[in-house]
């Protein structure tokens, strides 16, 4: 029986997957630009609670620009070894500067420096250009704490729909959809 709360259901699914040695952090993020042209890529989930699902990026990257232009997005987890999929749709907003600062401070130093060195999604003349820019950033922050760049931080997707898909024999899959309403979550079962 499904939980009355999809976040509880999600956290239970993550716990079950991790017990089977599944890395539950990679998730496909689908965005669309202001014209509605979609794009998708893997990001790493860095938090999930009643407020939503958190990931981090360069705000000037393609995904960052698209999320700013059109703050609606979707996430899709697929854990092949368990034959489970979770689809999440909702509105996206930036997390607080304090939350972005805390996560950035916990990242490995090399990743912190890389965030400064990369003009993410922009055209790069050569690998050497990137490596030289990284060395410049290393020199700039030599023996210093690396502060979070102002163009880098987190987004939170506040879910309006969450669907759990559980693979079953003979294509008789279980699909449970949660839809957010003003009074809470409505639960529907869908045909596979």
Residue 62 annotated to the active site: no
The catalytic position among 46, 65, 135, 171 is: 171
How crowded is residue 182: how many other Cβ atoms within 10 Å of its Cβ?
A: 4
- Active-site residue list: 171
């Amino acid at each position: 029986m499904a939980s009355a709360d999809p976040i509880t259901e999600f956290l239970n699914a993550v716990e079950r997957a991790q017990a089977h040695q599944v890395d539950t952090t990679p998730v496909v993020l689908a965005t669309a630009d202001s014209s509605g042209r979609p794009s998708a890529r893997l990001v790493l989930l860095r938090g999930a609670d009643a407020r939503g699902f958190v990931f981090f990026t360069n705000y000037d990257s393609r995904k960052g620009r698209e999320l700013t232009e059109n703050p609606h997005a979707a996430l899709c987890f697929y854990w092949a070894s368990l034959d489970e999929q979770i689809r999440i749709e909702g509105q996206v907003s930036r997390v607080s500067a304090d939350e972005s600062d805390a996560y950035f401070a916990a990242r490995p130093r090399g990743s912190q420096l890389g965030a400064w060195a990369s003009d993410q999604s922009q055209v790069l003349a050569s690998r050497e250009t990137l490596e030289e820019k990284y060395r410049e950033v290393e020199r700039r922050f030599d023996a210093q704490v690396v502060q979070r760049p102002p163009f880098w931080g987190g987004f939170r997707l506040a879910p309006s729909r969450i669907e759990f898909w559980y693979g079953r024999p003979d294509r008789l899959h279980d699909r449970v959809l949660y839809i957010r309403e003003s009074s809470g979550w409505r639960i529907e079962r869908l045909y596979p």
